[in-house]
Amino acid sequence: MVRIRPPTAGHSILCIDGGGVRGIIPPAILGQVQQQLDLPIPIQEFFTLAFGVSAGALIVLAMFANGWSVERCGVEFQELANFAFRPPSTVSVPGVNWIRAILSDSLYSENDIEIALRRVFGETAFTETAYAQRIGAKIGIPAATIKHPSSLCLFTNYNGSKQERRGYRVLTEAENIKTWEVGRSTSAAPLYFPAKYLAGLGTFQDAGVLANNPLMIALAEFAATNGNAQPDLVLNVGTGTSPNAPLKDEESKFITDSWIFRLKRAYMSLMQGRRIWDDVTSADINAGRNCGRYRLDLSITNPPAIDDATSMPVLISMVYRDDILLGAVPEIAYHLFATLFYFELTALPQKTGSNLYVKGSILCIRKGRDAALPKIAKKLHRSKVYINGKSCRSIIETDEHGNIQQHLEFMTGQSLLIELKEEGSLRAFPISGSPYDITNLIERGSTTAVFGMRTHKKRVRELTCSRPSKRRRLCIACLSS
């Protein structure tokens, strides 16, 4: 059954950086968020848009195309990396591997990684991934072209708007491309694997050479498909960041600071998606829209080479010992829980002076006989509702199927902020789609549906417009005045 997103609910975005074998870090981090949520809901089902680069793209595809748990993603990623980065037979001969890489265009066999990707993703077309369709998730996977100037292209499992993009191109001709081919294109890191040719489209390489963090593209795609709306929450998961090295008053060394070593260090610095995060969040702060943006990343003083498969168990253990990272997890889990709920009007608002008298319900996005509903209801009973920053009394009900309704009546202006403060949280977080504009709520809500309420009951009509006609219903002009 396909999950339909309620029209008054918002959207959350997940972005995962690239990083070679460091791609094992995001599943471990997301596993900590899943554990904190303590709900029988796969963490990917809290997000409606997911973007990933290189190794991060493989994790996104495993979660949203295959529907795998983060635990399984971690196990399968280790197997894939160990197979794809199998040392060549000439590994013990100094310098031979570099000569081989120059002659064959890569250090590692393209056959090995393609065998591994086919085993993981099968032969399903990227646009026909059943799990993503069922949960209503949009997936975006960037890759880079190889010709000068190299540019970013985006593989998607959805038909995007025809709005022109700036800084990248959506590959609308990629309908028949298979999921494993998308994964192969985005993980073709120069030196390590050869570029991937896709008939009718061109040749692609790892997008990390241009942007190892998909955040900018994700936000641009959200704007292209959702207009002026803002996402409920944006979670950017990194693959390890090194602290900035202090400046040293010393001259360069003949060998260790030669051009080839400087080039390698510059390439490795591109792997740190923190820079893009800093650029985006700085712009958001200046524009006054930094709420609900989170980055979870591991601090690594000496990051391993992107093909050092033996480092993966150590990287996982580092996640469990990073106190700063783990300390940020509860707030994100509380915020994600709040996005399980949205608000709908149960009657048309009545204008009273300069304010509006509003009746409505907080509803849960999870419906029917969802196994998570009893636990969600229990957590909701321990939460407080805030309307425009003030605590509000409410009545929580569940029907015979377990569907949750929390009835509210309150006064508000044209703008409406509804938040939930879960027990144990230090602050309240907006529910999905909040803050709302009352006019938009009326236009999108069931009170103005052509066939009445979504319950198919007769539409509420008792609230009247404050303008002269006694029998006239409240109009949008009144609400806007």
Q: Annotated catalytic residue: which of 12, 69, 185, 206?
A: 206
Q: Phi/psi at 168 (nearest 5 deg)?
A: -160, 165
Q: Rounded to whole angstroms, how far apart are CA atoms 393 and 406?
A: 10
Q: Annotated catalytic residue: which of 54, 361, 394, 446?
A: 54
Q: Rounded to whole angstroms, how far apart are CA atoms 303 and 300?
A: 6
Q: Can you tell me which residue has the tokens 């029907």?
A: 399
Q: Can you tell me which residue has the tokens 């077309």?
A: 125
Query: Which parts of 65-178 fold into alpha helices (H)?
Result: 70-84, 96-104, 110-121, 130-135
Q: Rounded to whole angstroms, how far apart are CA atoms 213 and 342?
A: 30
Residue pair 429/232 in contact by the 8 Å Cβ criterion: no
The tokens describing 120, both together, are 């993981």
The single-letter code of the amino acid at 25 is: I
Q: Can you tell me which residue has the tokens 């990227």?
A: 126
282 is annotated as an active-site residue: no
In angstroms, the Cα distances linking 364 to 3, 176, 214, 344, 367 are 13, 36, 30, 11, 7
Bridge-partner residues for 198, per DSSP? 202
269 is annotated as an active-site residue: no
In angstroms, the Cα distances linking 327 to 297, 324, 334 are 12, 5, 13
User: Which sequence positions are flagged as catalytic?
Assistant: 54, 206
